Structure 1
Amino acid sequence: MTEFADRWGFAPDKFWLRGERPENPVEWREELQRWEVYGYPEVNEALSNNDGYSADSGKLFNFDEETAKYFDGDLAQMTGVEHANIRKQAAQAFDPKFIARLESRVRDLSNEYADTLEKFAKFNLLSDFVDHVAGIVFSELLGIPAEDRTMFKLVDQNMDQEAQMTQVGEGTEDGYFEQLTKPLQPLREMLGTHVDAKTKDPKDDLISLLSQVTKVDGSLMTRDQIINFIIGILGAGHLATPLLVGNTMLCLESFPEQYALVKSDYSLIPGMIEESMRFLTPGAASYRATLQDVELGGKQIPKDSLLRVYLGAANRDPRQFTDPDNYDVTRSPNAHLGFGRGAHYCMGGQMVRVETRVVFEVLFTRFPKLRVDPAIPPLFFNSPDFTGVRSGGLHVRID
């Protein structure tokens, strides 16, 4: 299965894309002072068992006050009753009415951008098309001007860094936490301006909703907490769609019989999306901290240990998936972990699914000869925690 990975030039650390299986589903990495979790049942356990594992992996590090303020309110790091409380209130923004409006809006925007691109033989699928559609939709969800979406690229750029979380030394590798936070300051300032305005004069949008969310103690979320919440869901609610579209195009190009199948029957597009999330998982890895001594994959892991859970590798586990290295848009069941599992299952998952489905319905209809440009190799994010084409990194032809 090295043909797929080698054809597109995926980094060696994405070993599962080459059909490689670790000897054990759980291993200790001495040089990084963390546990690596590769297997499907083991990753599922770490994501789902809230008694043994915490999403707040930052709890293992001694942040200074300045660094800590960048994580307070981030839904991905929140746990327990407060997490469930805030998540339940924020989820109101993604109700069925919003999803219905979303589908119509994405279709209109997709056709609008297709109109501007149909005169060209080739274009960049992400920076010329999908980034605009997803960015405008997410801006409207937040209730901010569409032109402010340019700031979202700062999160995109953060995903292009090679740093990863480790307990070595001071708990960082190449300034992991500093690299995650400081480059986002201009985005924080932009969002802060809108948070201030929406707090004073609420509208029908997500920022206004967050400004009225009450914590368990009855107090409102702070300004920093709202900003961190928004930045935290930016990847899941906006950047995930371009990643998924780009990854899907690489899959379709590599499996032409599947491409022909889905283009002949659009009802297979939802299954295509799920299979892309499994086969070429955008969020390749996540982190957990143990809350107590646990046994996982036959290994005894002490309390307060750092785990890196490999969602991408778990989604290729033959114990869970038949013929896991084959891309099959008709795969059923397909209980992949691409959107996570348990209490931290991606809140914007349905939004990403709808956006991606409609984008491909429009692309397949408007550009029936759509294909990856063989003359220009795709460009991928450098982050070991993500697998996917970065903005500006996927050129296609429609002639």
Structure 2
Amino acid sequence: MTSTQLSGTESPLDALSDRWRSLREAGPVTYDAEQKQWRVVDHRGVSAVLADPATYSSDLTPIAPTQEDFEIFRQGNFVGMDPPKQRKLRTLVSQAFTPRVVHGLEPRIEAVCARLLDGVADRDRFDLVDTLAHPLPIIVIAELLGIPADDHRLFQEWAGTLFGGDQLGDDPDMADLERALEAIAPTVREMNGYVLDHIRHRRAHPGDDLTSRLLAAEVDGARLADEEIVGFVALLLVAGHITTTALLGNAVVAFDRHPGTLAALREDPGRLPDAVEEVLRWLPPFPELGRRTTRPVVLGGHEIPADTLLMAHLGAANRDPSRFTAPDVFDVARSPNPHLTFGHGIHFCFGAPLARLEARIALHLLLERFPIIAVPSHSDVTYQNPAVIVGVRHLPIAVTRQ
């Protein structure tokens, strides 16, 4: 499956909810013989796995297929690393990507949102993904990195290839992943070359941007090599924007499918932060995180050998009745909301503050501009392959203006 369209009132989102419920009902820790992987689905278990990188490694290279072009990207991709290297790289990046930097982007995010929506000022129907959800985070991140925002269509193409899942079915195995890696390798090669050229240009001509600050960041006299920066810049440019794209699309779909939600948020925009967190809990863009056991462990009463693939299932954990009241109810007033969508522990998503900020600003502007926002035909909504990312690929909406 490459993408999914709705049929009548059925939704892939309903299918996901059913699947996550089935996973929980099967038990907190189960083995999938067909996929040859263990799954952890309860909130407590997932949190424990993500908090213990010494036992559950993020480095899957010993057990997963690899490909030459991905090795360059992997050098600076600390999402797939363990301490101490992960800690060193994250510390270096933290010097450049500070909360102050993210907060300072707020006026620019507001301006980009306004300009993108001005582009459909004469239309009462448009695709939310093409108009706002895709270009907004790409433009913001590109400008943050000092990369020409005019190239945002290229970055969008890369993301579409890397996260579209066109080479995968609903439950890919290692052979499927290996074929997919080979298929997308040319895109990774192109992306690596583009980003490396940008880094070398910034090293020769530093500016007031995140890439230049990354080049200058230093810990114990050590700086990042160009190849290490490639992984982080590419991660932020491609994976970083796709999370916000999915979050915005998922929010509008979830609000539309729960009548009264948009009216309540319009009446009290101060509830938007809680609403964003509930969308993240309800529809995590990346609902599973892979880990490799570094030693034999006993988990949930099961003996799991070393070098075994274990999937920490955020989607199921986010609806764990032992952690959430009425977990299968979408409640934009839910607080506290200890969802695990952005991970937990040392690998907590670095871009979470930026994704949250972009989502809040974009949704606030949508509510401010349009008294009515509706999905006129759910059969026209096209979804991504949920085996790769939970989100919409196309979302036609109808609006009215003040």
The TM-score normalised by the length of structure 1 is 0.90
Matched to 2:88, the amino acid is N
Counterpart CA distance in 2 for 1:233 and 1:16 is 32
Moved more, 153-162 or 313-322: 153-162
The residue number in structure 1 matching 2:390 is 387
The residue number in structure 1 matching 2:3 is none
Tell me, yes or no, if structure 1 residue 69 matches structure 2 residue 72: yes
**C-alpha displacement at 1:221, in angstroms?**
2.8
Distance 1:7 1:90, change over 3 A: farther
The residue number in structure 2 matching 1:323 is 326
**C-alpha displacement at 1:358, in angstroms?**
0.4
- Whether the 8 Å CA contact 2:96–2:214 is kept in 1: the answer is no
**C-alpha displacement at 1:248, in angstroms?**
0.6
5+ long unaligned stretches in structure 1: none
The residue number in structure 1 matching 2:211 is 207
Q: Deviations over 1:283-339 (max 9, x none)?
A: 111100111122222221111111122111111111211111111011111100111
Q: Deviations over 1:202-243 (max 9, x none)?
A: 222122222234577x55433332212222233553221111
The residue number in structure 2 matching 1:87 is 90
Distance 1:339 1:64, change over 3 A: closer
The residue number in structure 2 matching 1:14 is 16
- Whether the 8 Å CA contact 2:295–2:307 is kept in 1: the answer is yes
- Whether the 8 Å CA contact 2:159–2:239 is kept in 1: the answer is no
The residue number in structure 2 matching 1:178 is 182
Q: Deviations over 1:60-95 (max 9, x none)?
A: 247465553332221211210221121122123332
- Whether the 8 Å CA contact 1:86–1:215 is kept in 2: the answer is no
2:260 is matched with which residue: 257, 260, 273?
Answer: 257
- Whether the 8 Å CA contact 2:57–2:294 is kept in 1: the answer is yes
Distance 1:80 1:16, change over 3 A: farther
Distance 1:73 1:100, change over 3 A: closer
1:1-399 alignment runs, 5 A limit? 7=9, 9-10=11-12, 14-16=16-18, 19-20=21-22, 21-61=24-64, 63=66, 67-153=70-156, 154-161=158-165, 163=168, 173-179=177-183, 181-214=185-218, 218-374=221-377, 377-390=380-393, 393-399=394-400
Q: Deviations over 1:20-71 (max 9, x none)?
A: 3341121112222211222211111111112211111223247465553332
Counterpart CA distance in 1 for 2:172 and 2:108 is 44
Moved more, 139-148 or 128-137: 128-137
**C-alpha displacement at 1:131, in angstroms?**
2.0
Matched to 2:399, the amino acid is I
Counterpart CA distance in 2 for 1:145 and 1:304 is 42
Counterpart CA distance in 1 for 2:125 and 2:54 is 51
Q: SS of the residue aligned with 2:12?
A: coil
Distance 1:350 1:223, change over 3 A: same
Counterpart CA distance in 2 for 1:151 and 1:100 is 27
**C-alpha displacement at 1:361, in angstroms?**
0.8
Moved more, 336-345 or 312-321: 312-321
- Whether the 8 Å CA contact 2:29–2:40 is kept in 1: the answer is yes
Matched to 2:16, the amino acid is K
- Whether the 8 Å CA contact 1:213–1:221 is kept in 2: the answer is yes
Q: SS of the residue aligned with 1:118?
A: coil
Matched to 1:203, the amino acid is G
Matched to 1:247, the amino acid is N
Distance 1:243 1:64, change over 3 A: closer
Counterpart CA distance in 1 for 2:88 and 2:20 is 41
The TM-score normalised by the length of structure 2 is 0.89
- Whether the 8 Å CA contact 1:155–1:184 is kept in 2: the answer is no
Q: SS of the residue aligned with 2:39?
A: strand
5+ long unaligned stretches in structure 2: 1-5
Moved more, 96-105 or 360-369: 96-105
